[in-house]
């Protein structure tokens, strides 16, 4: 039996004439590899050319992490990745703001704050518990509103960076930071410029 083989997309550099079988015995035909992507099997010629599969990965450009402010100056910058961290921060003014951003490792997670219905086994999160360092009293827990869901951000706009305002200060605070499944996070404590 004579079988003609047409190798689509192959160049003369990738296939040698000696590599192509034009006569095939129906009784014994081991798989013959012509190129890395073409396989001839059985008495009926079957050409398999795998295609490169592109898995869509959600990407959202992380802003220059927090941007500048004409009215505020940064007194402390805290950076990190996934894990836990505790940092003491002295705030020298009665009014201050915490600016923060995060870059999730896994895209599309839905946690208790996310509005999408994506199904991911991993949920990126960032939580900052701010306490009065002298008394140990918890002041506030800060988390990104809406969670860390890049697919949602692609549809509704990237909300980063976030900020929270505090109307008490002139003391030392403890920031207990818990980050899960993040490439990075940046937290800045900003006070009014004088």
Domain shared by 107 and 186, yes or no: yes
CA distance 88 to 189: 11
**149 within some domain:** yes
Domain shared by 40 and 77, yes or no: no
Instruction: Please give the pLDDT value at position 118.
Output: 52
Domain shared by 181 and 90, yes or no: yes
Domain shared by 85 and 47, yes or no: no
38 has pLDDT over 80: no
- Domain range spanning residue 40? 1-51
**28 within some domain:** yes
Instruction: Please give the pLDDT value at position 102.
Output: 94
Domain shared by 177 and 87, yes or no: yes
7 has pLDDT over 50: no
Count structural domains, the chain: 2
Banded pLDDT at 89 (limits 50, 70, 90):
very high
pLDDT per residue as tens digits for the range 108-152: 444 545 555 555 567 899 999 999 999 999 999 999 998 888 878
**138 within some domain:** yes
Domain shared by 30 and 81, yes or no: no
159 has pLDDT over 60: yes
């Amino acid at each position: 039996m004579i079988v003609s083989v047409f190798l689509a997309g192959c160049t003369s550099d990738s296939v040698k004439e000696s590599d192509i079988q034009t006569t095939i015995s129906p009784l014994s035909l081991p798989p013959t590899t012509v190129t890395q992507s073409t396989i001839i099997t059985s008495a009926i010629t079957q050409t398999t050319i795998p295609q490169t599969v592109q898995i869509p990965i959600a990407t959202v450009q992380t802003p220059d992490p927090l941007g500048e402010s004409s009215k505020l100056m940064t007194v402390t910058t805290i950076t990190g990745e996934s894990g836990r961290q505790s940092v003491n921060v002295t705030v020298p003014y009665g009014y201050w703001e915490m600016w923060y951003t995060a870059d999730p490792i896994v895209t599309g997670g839905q946690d208790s704050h996310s509005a999408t219905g994506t199904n991911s086994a991993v949920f990126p999160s960032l939580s900052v518990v701010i306490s009065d360092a002298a008394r140990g009293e918890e002041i506030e827990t800060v988390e990104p509103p809406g969670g860390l869901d890049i697919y949602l951000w692609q549809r509704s706009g990237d909300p980063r960076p976030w900020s929270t305002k505090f109307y008490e200060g002139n003391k030392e605070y403890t920031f207990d930071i818990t980050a899960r499944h993040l490439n990075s996070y940046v937290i800045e404590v900003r006070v009014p410029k004088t």
